[in-house]
Amino acid sequence: MDGSKISAKLYFIDLAGSECLKKTGNEGVAQIETKHINKSLCSLVDVFYSLANRSTHVPYRNSKLTHLLQDSIGGESKVVLLSHISPHINDFNESVNTLHFSSKVSTVEKGAIKKNKKK
């Protein structure tokens, strides 16, 4: 061993609850939570879209989620996105939106994996 350490971060982020408010009829706290989740998803799409297009400005500060994940999304990091869709016909629109989001994210290419070594 040369005394170096390899570091990594692992985040599990559940953005369930991003349903259409008109469909769910959520009110009160559930409605506010749904709005925040939807805002976070939109911000995440903006960040991935900027990365995919190799934009000079990546809007990490548009939400708390993207700001928190900045060093894990950008730079030399690798991201795995797991998307869950519903098999029920009543959830068709949400499933299409999920697939559309996943499709946008999958266009991001960031290059070869590099180890984060610290001495």
Q: Which of 16, 22, 24 is nearest to 98 (CA)?
A: 16
pLDDT in tens, 84-116: 888 999 888 888 888 888 887 787 776 665 665
pLDDT in tens, 3-50: 788 777 888 887 776 667 677 777 888 788 888 888 888 898 888 888
Q: What Cα–Cα distance (Å) separates residue 82 from each residue in 3, 12, 54, 115, 118?
A: 35, 10, 23, 23, 30
5-13+25-118 is classed CATH 1.20.58.980: yes
Neighbours of 69 (CB within 10 A): 19
The percent of the chain in helix, strand and coil, each rounded to the nearest 5, is: 50, 5, 50
- Name the DSSP class of 90: G
What local confidence, expressed as pLDDT, does residue 37 receive?
A: 83
Model confidence pTM above 0.75: no
